[in-house]
Structures are given as C-alpha cells and as structure tokens.
Structure 1
Amino acid sequence: MSKNVSKNEWVDMFREIGLTEENMMNWHCVFEKRHPEAHEAFLQWLGIPADEITDIRRRSR
C-alpha cells in the first residue's frame, strides 16, 4: 500500500528546489487555470481539508 505525500512534504520539496511562496502560488494558478478538476483532486489527494481547498482554489483564480 502506498502512502500519500503530505502537503508539508510537497511544500518542502518545492522549497528544496528553490520555489518561493509566490512561485508556489503561481504554480497553483497555472494548475487551476489549465486543469481545475485535477487541481482539486490533487489537493484532496494531499489530504487538505475541504475549506482550505476552497480557499486555495479561490486564490488561484
């Protein structure tokens, strides 16, 4: 059985490659614009609570 990567682990990987908070937000914006349903599914896969997903998606539009 595979373990999902947590939100914090994902953010740590982004930071490790040099992404800033602004870069990460831009990544969310591109993901939301190009693939909104997949973006939502990815956030759910990370185990992010529904209210936080709604906020991330709202800020990504």
Structure 2
Amino acid sequence: MPLNQIKDIIDTGGMNESNILERRLNKLNQEIRYLRFQQKLIVEMLKGKTPTDKKMLMDSQTFISILKSTGLDDETLNYLHIQFEKNSPDSHQFFLEFLGLADEEIKHIRECCRQEERKT
C-alpha cells in the first residue's frame, strides 16, 4: 500500500480504511489487466509474429477500439501507458511506433506518462 494511503489511514484513525482498501483493490485489478495485456502481447511475439508482419500491423484507433470493446475505459488505457513506460520504456516506444504514431505524438505520450508517474 502506498505511503500516502497509509498516512490517510493513520490521520483518520482508520475510519476511512475500507475506502482506501477499495481503491487499492481497484488499482490491483488495473495492474492485473495490464499484466494480462502484456502476457498476450508477448505470446503473440513468441509465436514468431513480428511488427513487420502484415497480420500484426494496425493503427492506433483500431487498437483502442478493440481495447474499449473489451471493457477498458480511458482511465485504464492511460494506466496501461503509464505502466508500460515505467516498466519497459523501450518496449513502450516500440509499441507506439508499431501503432504508426507520429514521432511528436509518441514523445508527447511518453512525457505525459513520466509526469503522471512522478505524481504517484
């Protein structure tokens, strides 16, 4: 549990403990979804498909619509980018390039991710 949430529990005498635990549970669920996404991506890569294979190429809007159709919301998609940047910045760069994003857009996304990560 992050230190700021432990501080919240101490400051409130534990009165807000269930809310903090619910938030942590939601965060863990987001992390699990992210890890499953990574797992699927790695499995596809291990099958021998590389981003230069025509079957693997897709644009960002198609990819986003697929993710949203599985129930992911904008907050979770943003979280995916932040975690991708935090845990594997080179792979994040590669993935954004794979989606065909312009260099400036990639730079903007990655900088936003780093800024969000510094806030936590």
TM score, norm. by length of structure 2: 0.49
Q: Which runs of 5+ in 2 are unaligned?
A: 1-52, 115-120
Paired position in structure 2 for 1:18: 71
Q: Which structure has the bigger radius of gyration?
A: 2
Task: State which of 91, 94, 98 in structure 2 corresponds to 1:38.
Answer: 91
| Structure 1 unmatched ranges of 5 or more | none
Identity of aligned residues (%): 31
Q: Which has the higher contact order (CA 8 A, sep 6+)?
A: 1
Relative to the length of structure 1, the TM-score reads 0.92
Runs of 4+ in 1 over 6 A off after TM superposition: none
- In the TM superposition, what is the alpha-carbon distance from 1:2 to its structure 2 partner? 1.0
Aligned pairs, number:
61
The equivalent position to 1:2 in structure 2, one of 54, 63, 69, is 54
Q: Write the letter of the residue equivalent to 2:110.
A: R
Give distance in 2, aligned partners of 1:29 and 1:47.
Answer: 19
Q: Which has the higher helix share?
A: 2
